[in-house]
Amino acid sequence: MTLERVSAPHRPQAKAALLQHISHSGCALVTEYPLLLSANLGKQLLQANRDAIAQAVQPATLAAVKNLLPQAMLLGNAPAKPHFFSVDFALCHNDKNQLEPQLIELQAFPSMLALCFFLEQHYGACLLDGRSLIQRQQLWQDMLQIQPHAEDGDTIMLDYQPLLQRSGISFLLTAQLGVQVVCLSELYLKGRQLFFRRHGRERKVRRIYNRLIISALPASIALHAQRLLSDADVSWLGHPDWYYFVSKASLLFMQGPWLPRVCQANQATASQLAHSVCKPLFDFAGRGVELSPTPAYLASLKSDAYLLQQKVQYARCVTSPAQQPLKTEIRLLSLWPDNATHPTTVAMMARLSAGDYMGVSQQTGGGGVTEALCGAEALCA
């Protein structure tokens, strides 16, 4: 079972449509081809994703993670369950030279859903886990509860300086559904009510589609966010605290054939270091990852909130148009509506890299990371 360049057919129409649709520097991340996974590999990814999420939201796992969490990170009053999951798997060769998924990280946090849906629409819509693109898009839009003509009660998509980020393309695409993209700096309180101004009008916030990671903000901005949001009278779609409740810390309490060996960094032996990467428990997008930790590096860490994860050997299973072999990571995006008994996988995104790092924030010129649509049952025309 392989995923070769022939399974990544050149289809420039999707990126061309994106460039006509929006103008943003993040468009440079998008490839001109989708990745078409074999049905068997797609099934492996979907099953591993279901298993990982099920373990991460077990009461015992959540309790163990919360015991590791600094309370200062939390807003409080989080709902009983998360609304989103982003789960990243490396594609690796097993001892039979077959591709298999290996879990890299997971987070109860939304990713670039709007971009994935846009690309799939233009590449040719596929079934994913038995659901059509229209069904998956509708599930997401129902959760957003968009009311574009309401005088009072807006759904906003919240982050800090959202359009300056490389993921800003997804903000712009989401805005076209009627969701207001709002920077944290635009919000202000009146009592417990949140407001912002747009086109000279004061708008009241009813629902927050959250993309804000409070611990990733500058200290003064993070403090402002906590003061502003901790007791605000709003409903949350993706409460900030769930970003921490399901995180790399969860890996310490999970198991499966798709999970590389993990341990807390302060429990590691010297022999483990050569074959491990060091990661912060509560960060995302590759921030703070050390690929070659040493005893001196571990001793320099200012907290115990790090883990060691066994290194995986990414299969260079995709060849770029420039004939460059690329490593591949698949991010599965799932939704968990309030009225649903279990999450639904709604999109798959492929990230490609010629270098050591996979995260968007580490991309440099030349190779680096790109984004592409990936369908598990991808028999796109």
- Given a cut of 50, is residue 381 above it in pLDDT? no
- Given a cut of 50, is residue 368 above it in pLDDT? no
Confidence of residue 335 (pLDDT cuts 50, 70, 90): very high
What CATH number does the domain located at 145-237 have? 3.40.50.11290
The position carrying tokens 């993921």 is: 167
The rounded distance, in Å, linking the Cα atoms of 188 and 272 is 49
Averaged pLDDT score across all residues of the chain: 87
Which pLDDT score, from 0 to 100, does residue 360 have?
52
Region 231-260 average pLDDT: 97
Which pLDDT score, from 0 to 100, does residue 302 have?
84
The rounded distance, in Å, linking the Cα atoms of 33 and 285 is 23
- Given a cut of 90, is residue 317 above it in pLDDT? no
- The dihedral built from the CA positions of residue 67, 73, 76 and 80, taken in this order, carries a sign that is negative
Question: Is-contact 260 97, C-beta < 8 A?
Answer: no
How would DSSP label each residue in 216-262? GS-HHHHHHHHHHHTT-S-EEES-TTHHHHSSGGGGGG---TTS--E
Confidence of residue 330 (pLDDT cuts 50, 70, 90): very high
The lowest-confidence range among 105-114, 246-255, 271-280 is: 271-280
Which pLDDT score, from 0 to 100, does residue 124 have?
77
Beta strands in the chain (DSSP E): 35-36, 84-93, 99-107, 154-159, 180-183, 188-190, 193-198, 201-210, 235-237, 262-264, 276-280, 306-310, 318-319, 325-335, 344-353, 370-375
How does pLDDT run across 158-198, given as a tens digit for each residue?
A: 999 999 988 899 999 999 998 999 999 999 999 999 999 99
Angle, helix 113-123 to helix 168-175, in steps of 10 degrees: 80
How does pLDDT run across 25-73, given as a tens digit for each residue?
A: 888 888 887 888 888 888 999 999 999 999 999 999 999 999 999 888 8
CB neighbours of 223 closer than 8 A, spacing ≥ 6?
A: none
Q: pTM to 2 decimals?
A: 0.92
Confidence of residue 97 (pLDDT cuts 50, 70, 90): confident
Question: Is-contact 34 374, C-beta < 8 A?
Answer: yes
The position carrying tokens 């930790």 is: 293
Confidence of residue 253 (pLDDT cuts 50, 70, 90): very high
Q: Are strands 84-93 and 99-107 parallel, antiparallel or unpaired?
A: antiparallel
Confidence of residue 369 (pLDDT cuts 50, 70, 90): very low
Confidence of residue 3 (pLDDT cuts 50, 70, 90): very low
Backbone angles phi, psi at 318, to 5 degrees: -125, 140
Region 93-113 average pLDDT: 93
Confidence of residue 211 (pLDDT cuts 50, 70, 90): very high
Which pLDDT score, from 0 to 100, does residue 207 have?
94
> Which whole-number Å values give the CA distances from 79 to 155, 169, 177, 245, in the listed order?
18, 28, 25, 12
Q: Please report, as a single letter, which amino acid is at residue 144.
A: L
The position carrying tokens 């984004």 is: 371
Question: Is-contact 22 44, C-beta < 8 A?
Answer: no
The rounded distance, in Å, linking the Cα atoms of 133 and 136 is 5
Q: From 71, 42, 77, 82, select the one nearest 230 (Cα to Cα).
A: 77
Residue 290 β-bridge partners: 278
